[in-house]
Amino acid sequence: MKKIFPFLIALLFQREVLLSQTSLSCNDNAYCSQASPAPPSGVVNNDSRATIKVEFTNSSSPSSPYNECSCTLLRQGFSNGDDNQQQNIIITAAHCIHTGFATTGPIVSLGTSRIYFNYSNADCNPNPYKSDPFSSPSKQQRYELVGLTLIDEDPFLDIAVLKINQPIPPHFNPYYAGWSVNPITILSNDQFYNFHHPDGDIKKISSTVGALVGNNFPVPFRYNVVWQNGRTQEGSSGSSLMFNQRVIGALSGIASPVIGGENCSNTKTANFARFADFWASSGPTRGHLNPDNIFGLTGSPGGEIECYSNDLYLDGQYWPAGDYQPNNSLTIRCQNNIFLGQSSTPLIIHKGADFTFEAQNVIKANPGFSVQFGANAVLKPGMSCTAMRTVSDPYDIDSSIVQYYRPGDLQTNKKLTLSLIPNPNNGVFEVTLDQTVDFARIEVFDLQSKKIYSSEVTNFSKEKIDLGACAEGIYYVHLTGNGIN
């Protein structure tokens, strides 16, 4: 009997030739979602910046020089919370990095593949980039890097994880998306969303509420989504399925062929390979996303580099951030010194841009630094900042070090509700469950992942904890037991 592999259907979303860069009319711009309810502002302002467009060089096919796909920048978990160590890891579909129409084919020329950040529009206009195709550089090329290195892939699951070879310049304004490999229980009002570059177009958003089905694909290891707003199409491959501001899957394909081609009336399910399955089998991926080998790490919230720890030597062309997002003002902070431009590699602040540079020590404007008429550049030396940071989280807990577990993530025979009362508190609080379990272990960790409290309780439903002797700050409670985590 012939073996049929799931990557074959994934090719429906593979984009190999850059054509009109015009996606379906029902696709909403990333910052102009028509979904009801609308995605939270943090989803759009942060997670959309983590989505990038990549042209994987397909040198073996002159007529189709690129496999064009969508990718997501992932945040690594570091025990000291310093995002300056980020190695620029991205996730995409495995079929994107292979030539031809099968993931068993040769790998594309990763070293010459091109990566595009911020290819989006700040409002609801269609595609403004088509109005200036001859500008130099084009708006797509304003935030461009070249070169990738493969970390690991699984052709069966259709997931690949890679590293961007070049450092990401601060003015690219990158965001590192959160991710989770925890099991999820889906409620009727849970929202799932997906930022992507359909047909090579500017960044779009698709979303749905409570319409996620697992494991009813011809093979397991899939999340199947019926979009209520927007569609996915060629060029969307590799983009991330996100839930609670965490990446949980990568787009592979659709469940069955689209009769009559791609169109807005098509409601076929979009199939995402589950990141949890790839995580379980990929040691290289675990090693890169958990480089400090933090015990029990099963995810990370999203984050960004708010303060650079080393001296910054900045050059290049700084364009208005308002071209790709609603907020036009950007601030670049450094713990040490900032050097702006060189005679051989200038730094140009273009008309309409608004940048602030803050350094704890010296800011030096070299002869190569220039500000065009109509631009704004503010230099602030003597401003302190710290590379150790926390990030906002929709559940009011910063899980930078140890991944916490929400009630919605639990898969048990009984639905349990965990409460911490009061929270915030003065160090004394109660951990409660709405049902009694025969055994539970309660652990509390500080920001350095140091365990400061541990207790084992039988017939547990409520336990009082006193951390009054500990310093004020953020702590994580980890509750495990028979059937709970």
Same domain for 285 and 316, yes or no, is no
pLDDT of residue 12: 36
pLDDT reading at 413 higher than 50? no
Report the distance separating Cα 339 and Cα 166, nearest Å. Answer: 19
Residue 222: inside a domain, yes or no? yes
Report the distance separating Cα 129 and Cα 14, nearest Å. Answer: 22
User: pLDDT digit string (tens) for 187-212?
Assistant: 777 889 999 998 888 899 998 887 66
State the amino acid at position 65 in one-letter form: P
Same domain for 147 and 86, yes or no, is yes
Q: Tell me the CATH number at 220.
A: 2.40.10.120
Q: Which two tokens stand for residue 312?
A: 């910054």
Same domain for 317 and 284, yes or no, is no
Number of domains into which the chain is organized: 3
pLDDT of residue 397: 30
Same domain for 264 and 333, yes or no, is no
User: pLDDT digit string (tens) for 114-148?
Assistant: 999 999 988 887 655 443 444 556 777 889 999 99
β strands within 87-190, DSSP E: 89-92, 109-116, 144-146, 148-154, 159-164, 179-180
Residue 406: inside a domain, yes or no? no
3-state helix, strand, coil in the chain (%, to 5): 10, 35, 50
Closest by Cα among 330, 439, 314 to 370: 314
Q: Structural domain of residue 459, as residue ranges? A: 412-481
Report the distance separating Cα 359 and Cα 363, nearest Å. Answer: 6
State the amino acid at position 311 in one-letter form: D
| Better-predicted residue by pLDDT, 217 or 348 | 348
pLDDT reading at 92 higher than 80? yes
Closest by Cα among 2, 306, 21, 23 to 140: 21
pLDDT reading at 399 higher than 60? no
Residue 96: inside a domain, yes or no? yes
pLDDT reading at 8 higher than 60? no
pLDDT reading at 414 higher than 70? no
| Better-predicted residue by pLDDT, 315 or 220 | 315
pLDDT reading at 259 higher than 90? no
Contact 52, 30 (CB under 8 A): no
Residue 307: inside a domain, yes or no? no
Same domain for 220 and 349, yes or no, is no
- Mean pLDDT taken over the chain: 79
User: pLDDT digit string (tens) for 23-81?
Assistant: 777 888 888 887 777 777 778 889 999 999 999 988 766 667 778 999 999 999 887 76
Residue 302: inside a domain, yes or no? no
pLDDT of residue 152: 96
Closest by Cα among 199, 52, 197 to 116: 52
Share of the chain above pLDDT 90, in %: 40
Closest by Cα among 226, 145, 168, 191 to 43: 191
| Better-predicted residue by pLDDT, 233 or 204 | 204
DSSP string, 406-456: -GGG--SSS---EEEESSS-SSEEEEEEEEEEEEEEEEEE-TT--EEEEEE
Same domain for 277 and 354, yes or no, is no
Beta bridge partners of residue 381, listed in sequence order: 359
Contacts of 54 (CB under 8 A, 6+ apart): 68, 69, 70, 71, 90, 92, 96, 113, 114, 115, 116, 148, 238
Q: Which two tokens stand for residue 83?
A: 């995002």
Q: Tell me the CATH number at 455.
A: 2.60.40.3080
Same domain for 284 and 359, yes or no, is no
Q: Which two tokens stand for residue 197?
A: 């570059």
Same domain for 160 and 225, yes or no, is yes
Residue 403: inside a domain, yes or no? no
Contact 101, 11 (CB under 8 A): yes
Report the distance separating Cα 178 and Cα 73, nearest Å. Answer: 9
Same domain for 122 and 223, yes or no, is yes
Same domain for 448 and 375, yes or no, is no
Pick from 240, 255, 289: which residue ends a domain? 289
pLDDT band at 316 (very low <50, low <70, confident <90, very high): very high
Residue 279: inside a domain, yes or no? yes
Provide the 8-state DSSP code for 125.
Answer: -
Report the distance separating Cα 167 and Cα 176, nearest Å. Answer: 14
Contact 57, 109 (CB under 8 A): yes
pLDDT reading at 314 higher than 50? yes
pLDDT band at 357 (very low <50, low <70, confident <90, very high): very high
β strands within 173-245, DSSP E: 179-180, 191-196, 204-209, 212-214, 222-225, 240-243
Entry pTM? 0.74
Same domain for 99 and 188, yes or no, is yes
Closest by Cα among 262, 240, 130, 253 to 194: 240
Same domain for 368 and 417, yes or no, is no
Residue 367: inside a domain, yes or no? yes
User: pLDDT digit string (tens) for 331-354?
Assistant: 999 999 999 998 789 999 999 999
Closest by Cα among 414, 478, 416 to 441: 478
pLDDT of residue 133: 44
Burial pattern 204-222, b for ≥16 Cβ within 10 A else e, equals bbbbbbebbebeebeeebb
With H, G, I as helix, E, B as strand and everything else as coil, classify residue 7. helix
pLDDT reading at 407 higher than 50? no
**CA 356 vs CA 122, 212, 295, 335: distances in Å:** 20, 43, 39, 15
Contacts of 57 (CB under 8 A, 6+ apart): 65, 66, 108, 109, 110, 112, 113, 114
